[in-house]
Structure 1
Amino acid sequence: MTMNLRRFAGVAAALVLAACQAKDPYEVSSSSLESARSQFQTHIVDHSFQPDGTPARPPAGVLDLIRYPARDGKLAAYVTPDPHDGKRHPAVIWVVGGYGGIGGPTDQLFWTPQPRANDQSGAAFRKAGIVTMMPSFRGENDNPGAYEMFYGEIDDIESARAWLAAQPYVDPQRIYLVGHSTGGTRALLASELNDRFRAVFSLGGVPDLKLRIDAGEMQVAVPFDQTRPDEFRLRSPMTFVTSIKSPTFYFEGESNYWHEFDAVQTVAQNHKIPLHVFKVAEGDHFSIVAPVSDAIARKILDDRGDTSNIAFDQADLARITAGISREDQ
């Protein structure tokens, strides 16, 4: 009887330990992001946002400047031309960081060589032969609509995906989403909103918008009513991480890593969510972009099954670290 009691006590202790280990480290929304958004309307109260202006015309044969249909009207985007080879190709939507759109008349970011230590052009994908689209969103460039800061823009990402999927040279089952910085935050939210991308990659997105605003001066004014807590919650990826269905990967350099993503990873593990978080050794917010983009491009080219087989191991991370340019560090 003593032995049975001891064994029972050991089992009970193990169950308690397992329960503690499975406990989420922060409050996760009980509803999906899609459901929460369906019951919410954002209040835009500041209209001082200044977009970049009309996008520049890219060189013929490198990129086309197109307008894709969205809720507020037609929005500007760059896209690689149809190769006219009769094939359907994998495609990436590259969501650039910063604010304002995809550049004004003097901005040639997407088709001129960029420094390896800060290459935000998305060129790694088109150079690998992957169809690449760089969209702008409502209120940006010369687009219709109002800038909403991580809200309505997420709907525009889906509109961009739908346009891309309809192109005869694109494989609609192999469309991927990749974003850096503000684009990385948008990518995480898009992954939470629906599962239509084969895989999603966020480079340096933020976990919580209020944390970011409280951390320091923003480059643009916050457009929504900041007295309403849900305005922040529905723009903060960590709140709705359990909405993620597609394979989703987060990368950030160790010097700019948000430690809240440790908690986000725990929640993902507890709920068996396909989100994978990587802190890149010796990297920062900008130096990781080129080597991580190269790694993603290689994975996409090898990702040919009925469902995505993309994964990153320690060898992949070591190659990314080795590829970091230190010329500006």
Structure 2
Amino acid sequence: MKRPTRFRKNPPMTPSRRSALFGLALLPLLPRLALAQATTSPALPEPPDLGPDYRAARSSFRTHLLRRGPAPDQGDALSAPPGAEGLTYRSNGRDLVAWASPAGNPTGLRPAVLVLHGGNAIWHGHWTDLAAPFVAAGYHALMPTLRGENGQPGDFSAFYDETDDVLAAAEALRARPGVDPARVFVSGHSVGGTLTLLAALAGTFRGAAALSPAPDTRLFFQRFAQDVRFDASDPREVEMRSAVCFASGFRCPVLMSHGDRETRSSASIDLTVARARAAGLRAEHRVVAGDHMGSIPAGIAEGLRFFASL
């Protein structure tokens, strides 16, 4: 397990100073590059520590989208892959598709995991790579599409409004026959890993395992500029998408893992862990063998061990 960096309190930061540090750090954004190829992070000022109440912060913030439309990736047809069944769940007045393992026996409750796919669309391979290992380990799994993905209604916002969909999908999972509502976990990879952290700040889960997440989304948006559809000159837009800014408020134990060949977010994960631990929370950072995609099996194995320890 990686040793966390030493926690230090951030000095008071005025809105104008935050704008200079956070907004200008994003602009100009770098071109969209292949994910997880670089091994060093750009020099950026330390993200602010905005306190433990991400829920309250979300209640008073609305993202300002400068461009509206579907998610940038296309994905597969929404017919359920082998081993899963299709269903719909409701989020913010819209019906969205999800895939789930077959409903269980209502008299024999078992743990469940909300599985969040990588990228900005869902593919059948996501179920095989990310959900099936949890099902094989005895968990009920549900993998949702999010607004704007795969022809679904709604506007893509890059993490923020999608967090509402994640929380709505979690409620649909809790209501599934055979699911123990007290043992619902969340796990995701890449984009799904970042959403896992935001869900652990805003929702109610027994534990969270984020594979290859970006807790400081400045690093993500520098590499994926085409995903920025919000007003990037407003520092709050990025802060509200960055779990590191609210790490003292995780509402469940959190594990963050990544491959030893993808270290771009390693320092920001260390800082996230340090801030959470300074608040008395359980947070862990583990490095497994592999690159961004090759590390998935080992990351899931770590997640399963972490969940079992809870």
TM interval, shorter chain, is 0.7 to 0.9
DSSP 3-state at the match of 1:232:
helix
8 Å CA contact 2:50, 2:246 repeated in 1: yes
What is the CA distance between 1:266 and its match in structure 2?
2.2
> For residue 13 of structure 1, what is the aligned residue in structure 2?
none
8 Å CA contact 2:258, 2:299 repeated in 1: no
> For residue 273 of structure 2, what is the aligned residue in structure 1?
265
> 1:104-119, aligned counterparts within 5 Å?
108-110=124-126
> For residue 56 of structure 1, what is the aligned residue in structure 2?
78
8 Å CA contact 2:80, 2:86 repeated in 1: yes
> For residue 188 of structure 1, what is the aligned residue in structure 2?
197
Q: Using CA pairs below 8 Å that are at least 6 residues apart, which structure has the higher relative contact order?
A: 2
> 1:18-33, aligned counterparts within 5 Å?
23-24=8-9, 26=46, 27-30=48-51, 32-33=53-54
Q: Deviations over 1:269-316 (max 9, x none)?
A: 322222211223x4322222112213433554xx4xxxxx43xxxxxx
Q: 4+ residue stretches of structure 1 with deviation over 6 A? A: none
> For residue 314 of structure 1, what is the aligned residue in structure 2?
none
What is the CA distance between 1:50 and its match in structure 2?
4.0
Distance 1:59 1:232 in 2: 34
> For residue 236 of structure 1, what is the aligned residue in structure 2?
242
What is the CA distance between 1:54 and its match in structure 2?
6.9
- Equivalent AA in structure 2 for residue 23 of structure 1: R
What is the CA distance between 1:110 and its match in structure 2?
4.4
TM-score, normalised on structure 2?
Answer: 0.79
Q: Percent identity?
A: 29
8 Å CA contact 2:78, 2:97 repeated in 1: no
TM-score, normalised on structure 1?
Answer: 0.74
> 1:211-290, aligned counterparts within 5 Å?
211-214=219-222, 216-218=223-225, 220-257=226-263, 258=265, 259-280=267-288, 282-290=289-297
Distance 1:284 1:90 in 2: 29
Return the index of the structure with the highest Cα Rg.
Answer: 1
Q: Deviations over 1:203-228 (max 9, x none)?
A: 011121122222x344x431111121
> 1:197-216, aligned counterparts within 5 Å?
197-214=205-222, 216=223
DSSP 3-state at the match of 1:152:
helix
Distance 1:31 1:87 in 2: 36
> For residue 296 of structure 1, what is the aligned residue in structure 2?
303
2:186 paired with 1:177: yes
2:99 paired with 1:78: yes
Distance 1:286 1:221 in 2: 20
2:61 to 19, 22, 40: 40
- Equivalent AA in structure 1 for residue 125 of structure 2: L
2:135 paired with 1:126: yes
Are residues 158 and 277 of structure 1, via their aligned partners in 2, closer, same or farther at CA, if it must alter by over 3 Å?
same
Distance 2:195 2:98 in 1: 16
Distance 1:111 1:28 in 2: 35
> For residue 145 of structure 1, what is the aligned residue in structure 2?
154
Q: Deviations over 1:90-138 (max 9, x none)?
A: 1111101111x223xxxx31466xxxxxxx4421011222111110111
2:135 paired with 1:102: no
Are residues 28 and 277 of structure 1, via their aligned partners in 2, closer, same or farther at CA, if it must alter by over 3 Å?
same
> For residue 12 of structure 1, what is the aligned residue in structure 2?
none
The count of residues paired between Structure 1 and Structure 2 equals 266
Distance 1:276 1:241 in 2: 12
Distance 2:51 2:305 in 1: 36
- Equivalent AA in structure 2 for residue 158 of structure 1: L
Distance 1:209 1:28 in 2: 14
What is the CA distance between 1:53 and its match in structure 2?
6.4
What is the CA distance between 1:139 and its match in structure 2?
1.4
What is the CA distance between 1:235 and its match in structure 2?
0.3
Distance 1:129 1:149 in 2: 32
